[in-house]
A and B are shown apart, each in its own frame.
Chain A
Amino acid sequence: MKSLTQIGASVLMILLFASCEKVISINLNDTEKRYVIEGNLSNEGGNCTVTITQTKNFNEDNNFPGVSGAIVTVSDNGSAPKQLTETTPGNYTTTAINGTIGHTYTLNINVGGRTFTSTSKMPVLVKLDSLYVEESFFFGDSTKVVNVKYSDPVETGNAYQFVQYKNSVEEKTVFVINDDYTNGRPVTTPLFIFSDDDEDKKLKTGDIIKIVMKCIDPGYYKYLFSIDAATGSSNNATPANPVSNITGGALGYFSAHTTQSKSLVVN
């Protein structure tokens, strides 16, 4: 009887939801190159890095060479700007800035005759209290999900990004949450991965999981919140570029954030 009902259920599922996927070729227009900036400033290790790349046409490969020769400066709370040095092509760093909570940082970039600026205020650090793995069952399949715990402060405007590494491989899903609905509460949030049944992505016993928690400012939160529209999926809201906090017409973001991490082994 069980097998019969299972057949019945699967026939229905197939009829209703069977879909077929195929790779198609679409003639996409080429476009003028635009600068893409990733600026990160953390409270840990005194690290400030800026990466500059450019957009490419869709049919080109996924190797994005850095843009050399830019003048990149960062100023700390309005003090004299400090210039970052280019370590590898397109990567600019300095250790002269000590990322400090509550300070506002201003990024200024001159490249190819254009100027881009952005500011970001490093938010207060909210402690990552603990991690645990929870197993849930859905239509006969088990899924393991990492949960993170922290206590949101009473003040509003906190936002968090989590980055999950499984056996040192970074998970592509963007985990981002703010305190619109959770202000001032002890928060437990599951890091759901919509894996399209990709077995490689599933968490298994023995996997080493590292979670990096970043407390981010509202500008970078908005950027991450809106980046979903640029992931290439057309079935939800209208695709669009994420909302950048950089002025001057560049893609990308500048984020001053706190960083902390915790690890566990999946059992």
Chain B
Amino acid sequence: MALSRYRVTAIVVRNPILYAGCHTIFNKNQHLIKIMQKFFLLVVIGFSTQFIYGQQKFTISGTVKSKRNGETLIGASIRSKNVGTVSNEYGYYSLTLPEGPHILEISSVGLQTQELQIVLTKTFVQNIFLDENSKDLDEVIVTAVPKGRSLKSTQMGVEQISTKEMRNIPMLLGERDVLKVIQLLPGIKSAGEGNSGFFVRGGAADQNLILLDEAPVYNASHLLGFFSTFNSDAIKDVTVYKGGMPAQYGGRLSSVLDIKMNDGNNQDYNVSGGIGLISSKLNVEGPLQKGKSSFLVSGRRTYADLFLGLSNDPSINNNTLYFYDLNAKLNYQLSNKDRLYVSGYFGSDKLGVGDLFGLRWGNGTGTLRWNHIFGNKLFSNTSLIFSNYNYQINIRSGANDFTLFSQIRDWNIKEELQWYLNDKHNIRIGVNSINHTMRPGDITASQASSFNSLNFQRRYSWENAAYVSDVWKATEKLNISYGIRLTAFSIIGGGDFYDVDGEGRVTDVKHYNSGELVKTYFNPEPRLAASYGLNNSSSMKAAYVRNVQNLHLISNSTTSSPTDKWIASTNIIKPEISDQVSIGYYRNLDDNKYELTVETYYKSMQNQIDYRDGANIYINGAIEAQLLYGNGRAYGIEGLLKRKTGKLTGWLSYTLSKTERKINGINNNQWYNARQDRTHDIALVAMYQLNKKWSFSGNWIFYTGDAVSFPSGKYTVNNQVYFYYTGRNGYRMPDYHRLDLGATVQLKNRKRWSSELAFSVYNAYGRENAYTIQFRESEDDPSKTEAVQTALFKFIPSISYNFKFK
């Protein structure tokens, strides 16, 4: 039987004639009773709609949670016929309905849809617990039917990934990685082979706001970008906004990647873990007070370096190379109306060659949040957020003896009110204040060192924002959300600030005392979105969003590097601004089995930053003298077809896009392709559940090669051949494509213990994709020059073992 219980009953209600036929299949009395109740209620509601005017309204509110582990559910849908809402980021919902009987249908991706029959005679609190789909296998597959992307929500340009979806997708070296999974979605492009960096709709890598429990993560990669800092075991929900960002988000031009950590199981203690080829993970969670409060600790560490330690050769066993992540979270219910969350992340990479050289870098974040519910319609959240990124280089080689320390640190306070005014309006009001401290580099050198001790100028800034937005259900078919975010970015002394002329020469230096205001940039950021329901299964949406960015990443490399440097806007470096309009069409096909999304966008960007030829970004002093400024534009069309039910699930995503820059001083001031410009991007992701034991998965990726600068000629200087470049990014890397395969086998699935083995092969047909193309004198014939392509990662197999102890 390929239909879920709920969905069969729904059909029965709609087609009473079928009722008798299905009776034999579902000959359980409870079902009969349920169906009859439902039928009765529908009739009542049908009548009552005629008398809807003049009726009193009441509010039902509460929290939606998973029954199994008590995790609050984000984005769960709660509806009664045509009136509905979704739970917020803390699982809270508030729904105002007319007096009388209602059937509330509560659904969330991957969980069993529940129905709740209520008769509203007063305002009340109702917490809801949704069950997992784990009765038997057929049902698992079928009842995972989510209700489809919300057609009515005005939100567009958004993609949500559940950790469940993430589980089965094959990954490089078997490391599950959210940042790599999102790269399989339309409009989100990988920064390169095996890289966790990404570009969204033509934006640069630094234009993504990456949040972990609201705290910005400034360098989200490990091991030179091959792995992200997010341990998938600790993550509950990942949402990417590519456009139409709601007003509560701001600070980056291209996207918001909002990652929420698990709260921890408040029902039972759980230990789970995995042993992979390059890392091992352990996750411990459990209740502090059953059903009320819980904790979670999750850790991951790579262990390639442990092999080094086994060697007898000191030139091998002296070396260090590892990274680790530690996530911890605690949530505590103070009262029915108050809940406290404390969460933290700490991760670090360490690389060392004996005592000679050491490099370590890492992020630390901390978030303290207090949810308070006022009455039935007002939800408040107060957050105190800390975020830190730093790196340190130690060199102890004779006279080359110094330590370099660099840091960016934020203190951030936020207050937000969500006001579920009535069934037509849902209002958010918030304020946010961030203090940024940047230490570009502190060099500490010994007396005997060749180097001077030196502190690069520290930079201080204060970023304030206030926003208000309203989601307005204007008519049955039309929903409009509108809002505005006002930002004020203040640059604070002390330090020297420069005037720089068009040639990059410093013309004036002004000194500011500590605490003195240098400049404030005010920017209004309007946000507007609308959705219009065409019929029951399709809708159109449109959105306009302006984003402003005051922190800019300065990097001398195309891949992520730990020494990439964040700088704030100055009197010369203006805030980056982007305006994006997008239009989309959404359709649920074949009874919600498939979902089709098509979105098109145009984005214009101002005050984009590039580098002068020969720029040295590690100088002390006027970094402005190394930079050039200009505009950008990006446009494209994205399509996503997703199959959500059945033994075979997955999606096909396609992006056609163009991304250009026009910078004064580059490419003769003409438009040129941005490095991340790719014409076509295709991803095909398939997961197949063969039986209870085995599941298989595969993904195939194709994209047009990046825009790059290749030489147009060559010449000789100092008896060496050098290459002559004419335009910026006028050539393309070869097209990229690759197939990855994966299989998972369930070994044991007992009540208290389950385990599985996962296999994968990355780049299964061994395509040699160009990682770099270099030009050099030919090795065979030095009188010639040649182009040499380097490829990484061919047929990379992996195996990992995962277990869970309940």
Residues of chain A whose beta carbon lies under 8 Å from any beta carbon of chain B: 1-2, 5-6, 8-9, 12, 15-26, 28-31, 33-34, 36, 38, 53-59, 61-64, 134, 136-141, 147, 170, 172, 174, 180-190, 222-223, 225-227, 229-243, 251-253
Other A-B pairs, 12, CB within 8 Å; known A140-B316, A181-B451: A19-B790, A20-B791, A23-B786, A24-B788, A180-B620, A227-B717, A229-B613, A230-B722, A232-B774, A239-B710, A242-B722, A253-B717
**Among candidates A22, A188, A241, residue contacting B788 with C-beta atoms closer than 8 Å:** A22
CA gap between A24 and B619 in the complex, in Å: 37
B residues in contact with A24, CB < 8 Å: 734, 770, 773, 787-789
**Among candidates B278, B450, B774, B791, residue contacting A234 with C-beta atoms closer than 8 Å:** B774
CA gap between A24 and B770 in the complex, in Å: 10
**Which of B24-32, B92-100, B307-315, B478-486 sits within the interface?**
B307-315
Q: CB distance B710 to A26 under 8 Å?
A: yes
Q: CB distance A28 to B722 under 8 Å?
A: no
Q: CB distance A62 to B784 under 8 Å?
A: yes
Query: Does chain A have a CB within 8 A of B794?
Result: yes
Q: Across the interface, name the chain B residue whose C-beta is closest to A20.
A: B791
A/B interface sample: 15 pairs, CB < 8 A: A9-B316, A18-B792, A19-B792, A31-B724, A34-B715, A53-B715, A58-B775, A138-B315, A139-B315, A140-B313, A186-B399, A188-B400, A232-B775, A238-B675, A240-B709
Q: CB distance A5 to B311 under 8 Å?
A: yes
Q: CB distance A64 to B716 under 8 Å?
A: yes
Q: Across the interface, name the chain B residue whose C-beta is closest to A137.
A: B315
Q: CB distance A36 to B716 under 8 Å?
A: yes
Q: Across the interface, name the chain B residue whose C-beta is closest to A181.
A: B451
Separation in Å of the A81 CB from the closest CB of chain B? 24
A residues in contact with B768, CB < 8 Å: 20, 22
CA gap between A177 and B654 in the complex, in Å: 48
Query: Does chain A have a CB within 8 A of B353?
Result: yes
A residues in contact with B771, CB < 8 Å: 19, 235
CA gap between A24 and B789 in the complex, in Å: 6
Q: CB distance B715 to A56 under 8 Å?
A: yes
CA gap between A239 and B8 in the complex, in Å: 63
Q: CB distance A190 to B796 under 8 Å?
A: no
Separation in Å of the A191 CB from the closest CB of chain B? 12
Query: Does chain A have a CB within 8 A of B507?
Result: no
Write out, one digit per residue, whether chain B residues 389-401 have a CB within 8 A of any chain A CB (1) or not (0): 0000000011110
Q: Across the interface, name the chain A residue whose C-beta is closest to B559.
A: A235
CA gap between A183 and B620 in the complex, in Å: 13
**Among candidates B400, B716, B717, B778, residue contacting A190 with C-beta atoms closer than 8 Å:** B400
Interface centre among B450, B452, B772 (most CB of A within 10 A): B450
Which 4 residue pairs spanning A and B have beta carbons closest together? A226-B614, A232-B775, A137-B315, A188-B399
Q: A64-B715, A138-B353 are in contact. Are A19 and B796 (CB under 8 A)?
A: no
Q: CB distance A21 to B789 under 8 Å?
A: yes
Near A by CB (< 8 A), chain B positions 692-711 give 708-711
CA gap between A190 and B789 in the complex, in Å: 30
CA gap between A29 and B450 in the complex, in Å: 46
Query: Does chain A have a CB within 8 A of B718?
Result: yes
Q: CB distance B789 to A55 under 8 Å?
A: no
B residues in contact with A55, CB < 8 Å: 713-715, 724
**Among candidates A9, A61, A137, A183, residue contacting B308 with C-beta atoms closer than 8 Å:** A9
Q: Across the interface, name the chain A residue whose C-beta is closest to B404.
A: A181
Q: CB distance B450 to A188 under 8 Å?
A: yes
Interface centre among B397, B708, B796 (most CB of A within 10 A): B397
CA gap between A25 and B770 in the complex, in Å: 13
Query: Does chain A have a CB within 8 A of B181?
Result: no
Q: A20-B768, A237-B556, A242-B613 are in contact. Are A58 and B304 (CB under 8 A)?
A: no
**Among candidates A140, A182, A230, residue contacting B315 with C-beta atoms closer than 8 Å:** A140
**Among candidates B308, B398, B450, residue contacting A185 with C-beta atoms closer than 8 Å:** B450
Q: Across the interface, name the chain A residue whose C-beta is closest to B443.
A: A181
Query: Does chain A have a CB within 8 A of B712?
Result: yes
Separation in Å of the A38 CB from the closest CB of chain B? 6
Q: CB distance B399 to A187 under 8 Å?
A: yes
Q: CB distance A189 to B450 under 8 Å?
A: yes
Near A by CB (< 8 A), chain B positions 650-702 give 675
CA gap between A9 and B307 in the complex, in Å: 6
Q: CB distance A227 to B613 under 8 Å?
A: no
- Chain B residues bordering chain A, tally (CB within 8 A): 85
Query: Does chain A have a CB within 8 A of B535?
Result: no
Q: CB distance A188 to B452 under 8 Å?
A: no
**Among candidates B451, B731, B785, residue contacting A62 with C-beta atoms closer than 8 Å:** B785
Q: Across the interface, name the chain A residue whose C-beta is closest to B401.
A: A188
Q: A233-B772, A237-B558 are in contact. Are A31 and B398 (CB under 8 A)?
A: no
CA gap between A187 and B712 in the complex, in Å: 40
Separation in Å of the A34 CB from the closest CB of chain B? 7
A residues in contact with B612, CB < 8 Å: 243
Query: Does chain A have a CB within 8 A of B173?
Result: yes
Q: CB distance A28 to B715 under 8 Å?
A: no
A residues in contact with B789, CB < 8 Å: 21-24
CA gap between A23 and B400 in the complex, in Å: 38
A residues in contact with B726, CB < 8 Å: 29, 31
Query: Does chain A have a CB within 8 A of B336?
Result: no
Query: Does chain A have a CB within 8 A of B444?
Result: no
Q: CB distance B315 to A241 under 8 Å?
A: no
CA gap between A136 and B794 in the complex, in Å: 33
A residues in contact with B783, CB < 8 Å: 61-63
Q: Across the interface, name the chain B residue whose C-beta is closest to A150.
A: B450
**Among candidates B313, B558, B613, B713, residue contacting A31 with C-beta atoms closer than 8 Å:** B713
CA gap between A22 and B792 in the complex, in Å: 12
CA gap between A174 and B731 in the complex, in Å: 27
Separation in Å of the A95 CB from the closest CB of chain B? 22
Q: A5-B311, A240-B709, A252-B717 are in contact. Are A23 and B787 (CB under 8 A)?
A: yes
B residues in contact with A181, CB < 8 Å: 443, 451-452, 454
Q: CB distance B304 to A230 under 8 Å?
A: no
B residues in contact with A239, CB < 8 Å: 708-711, 723, 725
Separation in Å of the A202 CB from the closest CB of chain B? 16
CA gap between A241 and B169 in the complex, in Å: 43
B residues in contact with A64, CB < 8 Å: 715-716
Query: Does chain A have a CB within 8 A of B18?
Result: no
Near A by CB (< 8 A), chain B positions 382-440 give 397-400
**Among candidates A12, A29, A53, A237, residue contacting B611 with C-beta atoms closer than 8 Å:** A237
Q: Across the interface, name the chain B residue whose C-beta is closest to A11.
A: B307
Q: CB distance B319 to A139 under 8 Å?
A: yes
A residues in contact with B720, CB < 8 Å: 172
A residues in contact with B777, CB < 8 Å: 62
Near A by CB (< 8 A), chain B positions 312-326 give 312-316, 319
B residues in contact with A237, CB < 8 Å: 556-558, 611
Interface centre among A26, A174, A184 (most CB of B within 10 A): A26
A residues in contact with B313, CB < 8 Å: 140
Q: CB distance B772 to A234 under 8 Å?
A: yes
**Among candidates B709, B730, B788, B792, residue contacting A23 with C-beta atoms closer than 8 Å:** B788
CA gap between A12 and B620 in the complex, in Å: 39
Q: CB distance B712 to A53 under 8 Å?
A: no
Q: CB distance A58 to B616 under 8 Å?
A: no
Q: CB distance B790 to A20 under 8 Å?
A: yes
Q: Across the interface, name the chain B residue whose C-beta is closest to A31.
A: B712
CA gap between A140 and B354 in the complex, in Å: 12
Write out, one digit per residue, whether chain B residues 291-312 have a CB within 8 A of any chain A CB (1) or not (0): 0000000000000100110111
Q: CB distance B772 to A235 under 8 Å?
A: yes
A residues in contact with B311, CB < 8 Å: 2, 5-6, 9
Separation in Å of the B587 CB from the closest CB of chain A? 42
Write out, one digit per residue, whether chain B residues 313-352 have a CB within 8 A of any chain A CB (1) or not (0): 1111001000000000000000000000000000000000
Q: CB distance A243 to B614 under 8 Å?
A: yes
B residues in contact with A22, CB < 8 Å: 768, 788-789, 791
Query: Does chain A have a CB within 8 A of B356?
Result: yes
Query: Does chain A have a CB within 8 A of B536?
Result: no
B residues in contact with A185, CB < 8 Å: 449-452
Q: Across the interface, name the chain B residue whose C-beta is closest to A35.
A: B715
Q: CB distance A21 to B790 under 8 Å?
A: yes
Interface centre among A56, A227, A240, A243 (most CB of B within 10 A): A240
